[in-house]
A and B are shown apart, each in its own frame.
Chain A
Amino acid sequence: MTTDAPASDTAERRRLDRQQIVNAAIDYMDTHGVQALTMRKLGAELGVEAMSIYRYVPGREALLEAVVSHLLEGLPQRLDRDLTQTWQGYIQAYSHEVRKIAVEHPSVFPLIATKHPAAPWLRPPLRSVELVEDLIMTLSQHDFTDEQVVDTYRAFTSFLLGNLLLHCAAHGVHTGPMEEPLDEGEADKDGGDAQRSLRDAPTVRRLKPLLAEDRSEEEFEKALESLLDRIEMTLSH
């Protein structure tokens, strides 16, 4: 247990642990997307039989759930304590921590945007009780009423979800089946249709370069500021 035999001993298969499997799953999905992940492929990646993964995780769904937990775990503790003296600072820091997950793992983040199976009333992407609890406690400490807490929670989650998913859509790995080439408006098949309509959409065609620009960070900041302003207004009333 204490001293691992060096990896050169290939007869001894690489030691697995749950964390290692979760990390490998994240790596795999970062590159290939969520859909592509199977236990067999993950096993190949880790150099083990798929079967031996099942010793640590009961199945693919449970693995994905473990990935989500891992990414969200300890987020409240990572917040910059200097910033969190005020609720505004707290929301700012919190937002950026969540955004960081989306930026670092755009292909995996949509998982966090799914509903929690055991607690479907938790609004994604704040998909863990720990996260929500921390948010609620902090706001309450800053003299938010229950109603204000709930309103903030709702507005905050929809803000995060909308902004971050759009970021992921622009940056994530292509998640669907890969048969059709990614092709902007010139694809085959029903792409002929898309092509025709782009001709009928002169404004879109003209603005396409602008539309294609990546503004997600800036938009995120602006929308976040406006959200904070809005919450502030409701507090003063």
Chain B
Amino acid sequence: MSTPATPAETARPSAAGDAAASATARPPMSSEALVVASLDYIDTYGVDQLTMRRLGAALGVEAMSIYRYTPGREQLVEAVVAYVLREVAIEMTGRHWPTWQHYVRHLAHAVRRTAMQHPALFRHMASAHRQSAWLRSPLCDLGLVEGLLSTLHRAGLSDVESVKVYRALTAFLLGHLLLETAERAPGSAQTGLAGVQAPTLSPVIQRLREDVVDREDQIQFDRELGALMQRLDDVSAPAYSSGRHGTAPPTTWEGQA
């Protein structure tokens, strides 16, 4: 609390068209500036640590005045999530994608970058409940989902196939990135459950532990993304009539409602 994180100083590769962000070094406060400051605070201290009082201290304002811009802490964190996902959405729009696979790959990497930049926020996103349970973490921003689904649609995937891709991609990203961000999130040591004895480790596990630490996460991510893409190719193969599946009927989920 004595060292307030001055938000605007840490130059974030903010999305283009975000002119306001550069001007936030000093008040006037705005909802946007508040969101950016909160993001910085979360990056440094974790979501759990964010309180209106501390945020106020970091910004040099009364906690009460923050309520002018947001109804409460929950909504503020929600807005930070939306802000970060919107940056991804912006990155994805207005480009040309030769195939939907290019789009999905790029999206996966963009989400990964975001997760690595904001590990604490990402971990929060993964656990938080949203108003709309059918939007799946981490692709839980309407704009982002619309971009993905409409791209798949234009590429000729059926509705069912598109949703399938969305589901497989979210499960992949969530599992992978949660594990990847585990060591990076500030305060992740505290979020663990305290009070257990360190287990005595068998030699096999000891070895594993050393192995695991050495692994290149990026390589692993790429490899598994590659495998996922291959699986998704199969999902949509009939739509491209590549004949890979011979006479297999167009992929549909049985019992389609």
Residues of A within 8 A of B (CB): 58-59, 61-62, 64-65, 68, 110-111, 113-121, 123-124, 129, 132-133, 136-137, 140, 146-147, 149-150, 153-155, 157-163, 165-166, 169-170, 172, 174-177, 179-180, 182-185, 187, 189-191, 194, 197-198, 200-204, 206-213, 215, 218-219, 223, 226, 230
Contacts and interface: CB of A to CB of B under 8 A. Distances in A.
Given A65-B193, A162-B173, A194-B132, 4 more contacts: A113-B178, A179-B72, A185-B132, A211-B134
B192 interface: yes
Interface of B is mostly: helix
B215 interface: yes
B137 A65 contact: no
A187 B142 contact: no
Among A115, A124, A136, max chain B CB count under 10 A is at A115
Contacts of A191: 131
Contacts of B231: 226
B162 interface: yes
B166 A211 contact: yes
A145 B173 CA distance: 27
Question: Which of the four size classes fits the interface of chain B?
Answer: 35 or more
A230 B220 CA distance: 13
Interface of B: 71-72, 74-75, 78-79, 126-137, 142-143, 145-146, 149-150, 153, 159-160, 162-163, 166-168, 170-176, 178-179, 182-183, 188-189, 191-199, 201-202, 204-205, 207-209, 211-213, 215, 220, 224, 227, 231, 253, 257
A174 B176 CA distance: 24
Contacts of A177: 74
Chain A binding surface SS class:
helix
23 contacts: A62-B193, A62-B194, A62-B196, A115-B182, A117-B189, A117-B194, A117-B195, A120-B192, A137-B204, A140-B204, A154-B215, A158-B175, A161-B174, A162-B178, A169-B136, A170-B133, A194-B142, A200-B142, A207-B163, A208-B134, A210-B163, A213-B257, A223-B171
